[in-house]
Structure 1
Amino acid sequence: MGYAQELFRAMGGFSNFAISFTIISVLSGCLTLFYSGITTSGFAAGSIGWPLVTIFVVIVALGMAELASAFPTAGGLYYWASKLGGPAWGWFTGWFNLIGQVAVTAGIDYGLAVSIDVLLNAWFPHFPATLGSVSGIDPATQWATLGIYAVVLIAHAILNIFGVRIVAFLNDLSVWWHIVGVCLIGGGVVVAALLHPSAPLNSAATLFAADPKYNASGFPAWYAFLLGLLMAQYTYTGFDASAHMTEETIGAETRAPWGVVMSVVVSAFAGYLVLMGLLMAAPDIGVKGAAGAINPVLYILEYRLGAVLGPLFFAVAVGAQFFCGMSSITTNSRMIYAFSRDGAVPFSRLWHQLDSGRTPRNAIILSATCAFVLAIPTVFNYVAYVAITSIAVIGLYISYVLPILLRVLTRSFKHGPWHLGSWGKPIGVIAVLWVICIAILFMLPTVNPITIVTFNYTPIVVLGTLLILVIWWTVSVRHWFKGPKIQGSATELANIERDVGETVLLDGEETASSH
């Protein structure tokens, strides 16, 4: 494909799946936005919203998987769009993906910082922790959370700089950590409720009702239910990681597509289990109950499991969120590395450099730094966190669907060994329509009345970014950016590989495995 093997190819199929599964992290997205979900449509945000969103996300994942098999490169979506539609499509796709990657890293790690803050408060009550809202902000809490957030980002950057081997190992460990965590949290509260019949589980009629009494958005119930879909849609982000890690995966043309699809499918079941367990066991998710607690998930765990086991189970979720943030930095840095390889990012030469361990250290540092900057507004306005998650969803899904749209429109697409056959185009059309719907939805107001404090600045960021990119492309980029570059002749590629320490040409899986 014209690129030298610079990154270290050591990941197997399970590790490739594991990184996407870890970034989706049902113990991160589901739990950090649990509050936002239940204060729109109550139980229905999880019981109905989760499976509804799942159907369409699987369709998007199938469309992406087919492209990952045809073009197994670290640039992933940017490279696909470039090959199918030309440099302009590739450049815009790449930048939306990059913005989404930074936003999702910020969303994950800031959510982790909030969870650590809450957990420390549970163990040490004097530690500042107050429920963030659009109406009341505790400055001590926000600054403490931002400080924890900085420490978390530094830790994740250091782990990634150590190299792909430790990241692969931790991602493999993360899969089992998540599975055990889902069983402990989703199953533990249900078992505890069954052992104490005085506080029975909620009925099916209650679980599947979009009750207006839980609607704190100020909008009609139907609109509030749609807003509640953000919890599921935000959780299902990051599964493009399997595509970004293809240059570090053995047999990537088949293993990466399965990583994309199976990470979504396994997350679908795991996420529904943990959500339904919490909702069945929830004593009250009204404003005076779980929704009014410092953290509604911890509130449910402590109510059912007590003041000792509850925080311990919550700590398991915090551990899962830590793995999730680490993997997000990994895939974000690979996107920056690949995009810079073709000169699409300012100071590309700096971000394309590898350290002695063949790790894009500079790209890792840039990823963590940008994520920190994006979360600074949360100190002054907690609703900024919801906006960050919306930006992540919109940016990433636009980048997911642009190559799929091009695959639908082109007649010259040559599929790889993993493909959808005649279903490719119908699946692509449905994926495009779904992303158009959610992109519009998550740019709409989230709280009524709309004030300077409650304003959703997502459309300003998304549309403002699009305007900047259009101007930048028109004035400058189109004159010099020609899309993916061939790094050189076979001899020149071999020299590049020799310089970074690559000693074995990967002709097939057998050779790759022995390497």
Structure 2
Amino acid sequence: MPRTRRRAGRDPVAIDDDATLHAMGYPRKLTRRFQAFDNFAISFTIINIISGIFSSFGFGMNAGGPRVLVFGWIGVSVMVLFVGAAMAEVASAYPTSGALYFSAGKLARRHKGAWSWFTGWLNFVGQVGGTAATGYAAATFVQAFLALQWTSYRPTAHQTVLITALIIVLQGLANTYTVRLVAVLNRISVWWLLIGLVVIVGALVVGPDEHRSASFVTHFVNNTGFTSGLYGGMLGLLVTSWTFTGFDGSFHMSEETVRATVNAPRGITRAIAWSAATGLVLMLALVYSIGDYTKVAGSAAPPVQILIDGLGTGGAKALLLIVIGAMLFCGLANLTSNTRQIFAFSRDGAMPGSRWWHSVSPRTRTPVKAVWLAVVCSLALVLPGWWSHTAFTAIVSVNVVGLFLAYAVPIFLRLRLGADFSPGPWHLGRWSRPIGVVAVIWVLLSSALFMLPQASPITVDSFNYAPIALAVVLVVATVWWFATARRRFQGPVSYGRPDEVAAMDLV
């Protein structure tokens, strides 16, 4: 169990947040308005079980069916909790907005700049891809709602891109204003998710005339086109993995969180645990409400078809509004996390135009320019969808792989450091190493799954572009590193001694 302990004159819990930040070499520029619940809320909202399950449920129906949807959810949730716990231990030791790339630079014995550089760019690309993909999913469900409301409405790729762009810009505007507003919206999002879950599950329990038998959870389906049932079932595990991304958001909000050395790691682990429990309830409700399996699995949006079959068009439309709201909150929180990573990465001089992106608005105390860089980058990823959905999928496919590889790097480096690692107040004690080992192994296995073919026959439209997208990111980052970056970026920088950086505080 995580616990606290005293280390060499250090108060294990009541550590001064500013003193901790100053000891890491940074002045305080951001406002600390996130309490423990707010920090939990951002990761819980980004994970977003309603958004994740509704977006990927159809894939799971064809890749393993109910058996993998339900039991795969349980197994993968446990593995993700291992990853989250190992990350949380690192977050307690290095509670900064830089999060993964900062801790990678600090934990590496050699080549600190390189470890930090590649971790930071994987994290950046993964988060930008996540913002774009979440906005696109929300736009898709908005159009599903419009098609139910007006039968003459025909969704098009152009409309999806335009709605996605509008959503991302509105989320950028929300992030432009104060941290207090973002915190309030994230609190609302938690209750939206929890109350929405109760409403959706309650409707699926009461509404349909018939439900599947208890044994239906063992039903196995392999419609992936591959003859191997084992391979098809393993692909189904991706449903849960797709959902459980973005919990590094609590880590990125450390510099705006009160008692961050404790509340940030708790935010990570609690968000995963609550998402695992509530997501299982939603998954079971959807699985037991499936009517005609072939009809539902073959529909454009299987969860929507389940709602229509069980509750009628009126009921489906009402619940779709809950789903769309959850997706909008998810994108908002994802953009917030992305912005803080850009702010911190720029503060250390790792991005072109760093001087711009780490500046903070004197009025709102938020990194406004970083917000709009994140918005522009996300819109750039969405734009290819104007011509081809396949092109859009290829570009954002690096989202999950990039994020989980970025998660694994500081955990791996912490393992290599061994007894030389100085944990923060929240740590895993003697369980630290075994949990870290399991976390790294799981990330490697799940990343391999993400890059394997996911449908047969393999065509231009069904090809999995994640390996190509990841290779492009790594090649660009590598060329850039050896060409110029290694001479100007040596990893996280220090702005001076604690007393010197304290004098630079802007808040």
**Equivalences, count:** 479
Offset of residue 494 of structure 1: 4.1
Query: Match for residue 291 of structure 1?
Result: 297
Task: Name 1:239's counterpart in structure 2.
Answer: 247
What is the alpha-carbon distance in structure 2 between the residues aligned to residue 339 and residue 69 of structure 1? 19
5+ residue gaps, structure 1: 130-140, 503-515
Secondary structure of the residue aligned to 1:442 is: helix
Task: Please tell me the residue identity of whatever aligns with 2:220.
Answer: A
Residue identity in the other structure for 2:154:
P
The within-5 A match list for 1:92-171 is 92-129=118-155, 141-171=156-186
Does 22-31 or 227-236 show the bigger shift? 227-236
| Cα pair 1:242 1:257 within 8 Å, conserved | yes
1:409-420 matches, within 5 Å, as 409-411=416-418, 412-420=420-428
Q: Secondary structure at the match of 1:478?
A: helix
Q: Is residue 42–residue 285 contact of structure 1 (8 Å, CA) maintained in 2?
A: no
Deviations 1:62-103, CA, capped at 9 Å, x for gaps: 000000000100100111100010221111111111111111
Classify the secondary structure of the residue corresponding to 2:425: coil
Alpha-carbon distance in structure 2 between the residues aligned to 1:335 and 1:369: 15
Aligned to 1:448: 456
Letter in 1 for 2:372: I
What is the aligned partner in structure 2 of residue 392 from structure 1?
A: 399
1:439 paired to 2:465: no
- The aligned runs of 1:320-359 (5 Å cut-off) are 320-355=326-361, 356-359=363-366
Separation in 2, partners of 1:298, 1:446:
23
Measured in 2, the distance between the counterparts of 1:45 and 1:151 equals 36
Q: CA deviation at 1:284?
A: 2.1
Q: Aligned pair 1:15/2:38, yes or no?
A: yes
Counterparts in 2 of 1:259 and 1:302: CA distance versus 1, 3 Å: same
Cα displacement (A) at 1:290: 1.5
Q: Against the structure 1 CA distance between its residues 56 and 95, is the aligned structure 2 distance closer, same or farther, given a 3 Å change threshold?
A: same
Give the partner amino acid of 1:292: G
Match of 2:20 in 1: none
- Give, in angstroms, the shift of residue 216 of structure 1: 3.9
Q: Which moved more, 1:200-209 or 1:307-316?
A: 200-209
Q: How far off its partner does 1:256 sit? A: 0.4
The answer on 1:46 being equivalent to 2:56 is: no
Distance 2:217 2:409 in 1: 36
Q: Deviations over 1:118-143 (max 9, x none)?
A: 111111222223xxxxxxxxxxx111
Asked if 1 retains the 8 angstrom alpha-carbon contact of 2:62 and 2:221, the reply is no
Divergent runs of 4+, >6 A? none
Kindly report which structure 2 residues correspond to 1:64-83, keeping only aligned pairs within 5 A, or say none: 64-83=87-106
CA distance in 2, matches of 1:361, 1:451: 42
CA contact (8 A) 1:94 1:399 kept: yes
- Match for residue 180 of structure 1 among 188, 195, 218: 195
Consecutive unaligned residues in structure 2, runs of 5 or more:
1-23
C-alpha distance in 2, partners of 1:310/1:475? 54
C-alpha deviation, 1:492, in angstroms: 4.8
Match of 2:14 in 1: none
Aligned Cα root-mean-square deviation (Å): 1.6
CA contact (8 A) 1:39 1:217 kept: no
Q: 1:462 to 1:232 in 2, by over 3 A?
A: same
CA contact (8 A) 1:63 1:404 kept: yes
Contact 1:390-1:443 within 8 A present in 2 as well? no
User: Is the 8 Å Cα contact of residues 63 and 427 (structure 1) preserved in structure 2?
Assistant: yes
CA change 1:383–1:44 in 2 (3 A) is farther
State the one-letter code of the partner of 1:128: R
How far, CA to CA, are the matches of 2:174 and 2:266 in structure 1?
26
1:416-449 Cα deviation digits (max 9, x unpaired): 0000011111111111111111111111112212
State the Cα distance separating 1:154 from its structure 2 match: 0.6
Residue 486 of structure 1 corresponds to 494
CA contact (8 A) 1:187 1:274 kept: no
Length-normalised TM-score, structure 1: 0.90
Distance of 1:113 and 1:45 partners within structure 2: 28
Partner of 1:25: 48
Mapped partners of 1:285, 1:80: distance in 2: 47
Q: Deviations over 1:193-244 (max 9, x none)?
A: 3xx3xxx2112332222223xx144453221222222221011000000000
Distance 1:382 1:222, change over 3 A: farther
Partners of 1:331 and 1:208 lie apart in 2 by: 38
Letter in 2 for 1:166: L
State the secondary structure of the residue aligned to 2:326: helix
Query: What is the TM-score with the length of structure 2 in the denominator?
Result: 0.91
Match for residue 6 of structure 2? Answer: none
Structure 2 CA distance, aligned partners of 1:318 and 1:285? Answer: 24
Contact 1:81 1:402 in 2 (8 A): yes
Structure 1 residues 263-272 or 432-441, which shifts more? Answer: 432-441
